[in-house]
């Protein structure tokens, strides 16, 4: 859950690392209605494993439904492994104040 109340022109930032058998493909989705409906933003693949952290910045400015939204949620779904570890760190949502 990441409300964007009072903000527009959003960017989502996070870092991934994984164990040797951890997923290296992740689907990033958002919900503008508190989790009832989920919309894909991007599939990210090919990031390195531990101890390397790969930082991603997703430009969400073109998705107006995310602006000033108290019901905003994001979901990161690993899609190519059910073993190992996928680590997420430094998740941040940035925007321009209304």
What confidence tens digit (pLDDT) does each residue in 11-70 have? Answer: 999 999 988 888 889 999 999 999 999 999 999 988 778 888 999 999 999 999 999 999
What is the pTM (predicted TM-score) of this model?
Answer: 0.88
Those residues with Cβ within 8 angstroms of residue 78's Cβ, 6 or more apart along the chain or in another chain = 22, 23, 25, 26, 86
Planar angle of CA 92, 74, 66, nearest 5 degrees: 85
Per-residue pLDDT, 51? 86
Encoded tokens for 39: 């919309």
Pairing of strands 54-59, 7-18: antiparallel
Per-residue pLDDT, 3? 96
Per-residue pLDDT, 62? 97
Distance of alpha carbon 37 from its chain centroid, rounded? 16
Whole-angstrom distance, CA of residue 38 vs CA of residue 34: 9
Per-residue pLDDT, 6? 98
Per-residue pLDDT, 83? 82
């Amino acid at each position: 859950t990441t409300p964007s109340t009072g903000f527009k022109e959003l960017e989502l930032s996070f870092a991934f690392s994984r164990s040797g058998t951890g997923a290296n493909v992740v689907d990033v989705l958002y919900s503008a209605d508190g989790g009832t409906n989920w919309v894909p933003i991007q599939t990210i693949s090919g990031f390195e494993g531990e101890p390397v952290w790969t930082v991603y910045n997703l430009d969400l400015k073109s998705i107006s439904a995310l602006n000033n939204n108290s019901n905003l949620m994001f979901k990161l779904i690993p899609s190519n492994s059910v073993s190992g570890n996928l680590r997420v760190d430094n998740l941040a949502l940035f925007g321009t104040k209304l």
